[in-house]
Amino acid sequence: VQLVESGGGLVQPGGSLTLSCAASGFTFSIYGMSWVRQAPGKELEWVSGVNSGNGRTAYADSVKGRFTIYRDNAKNMVYLDMNSLKPEDTAVYYCAAKATWDAVRDAGTYPNWGQGTHVTVSS
């Protein structure tokens, strides 16, 4: 399993970024995919997930209404559109995969992770 994130960077408060995750080495279409972040000095925080079947999505309350997760099974890609970014969104964002939708919000249940991409929201 290989997950490679991209798209991070420096953005001003109120700005937007789109993160991408390229997946390989497994049957992407049957895996649930999530984004998880870790702010400096803090624990992992699950951000959003999209399931393998009907594309059902879920969001943490902290990003609901601002972030959108979606996947392209033909390209083995998952994305995270981030809008109205806030300084508290500053973190390393990781793409994570697992074979079930169970406990989707529990970051500790994901066996497969990318290397992360840094997002800094600052003026």
Instruction: Provide the 8-state DSSP code for 107.
Output: G
Coil, helix or strand at residue 108: helix
State residue 117 phi and psi, 5-degree precision.
-135, 140
State residue 2 phi and psi, 5-degree precision.
-135, 130
- From the number of C-beta atoms within 10 Å of its C-beta (0-12, 13-18, 19+), residue 19 rates as buried
DSSP string of 32-69?
Answer: EEEEEEE-TTS-EEEEEEE-SSS--EEE-TTTTTTEEE
- Residues 32-84 have pLDDT tens digits of 999 999 999 999 999 999 999 788 999 999 999 999 999 999 999 999 999 99
What confidence score (pLDDT) does residue 22 get? 98
Once rounded to an integer, what is the mean pLDDT over residues 87-94? 98
- Tell me the pLDDT of the chain averaged across its residues: 96
C-alpha–C-alpha distance, residues 90 and 19, integer Å:
13
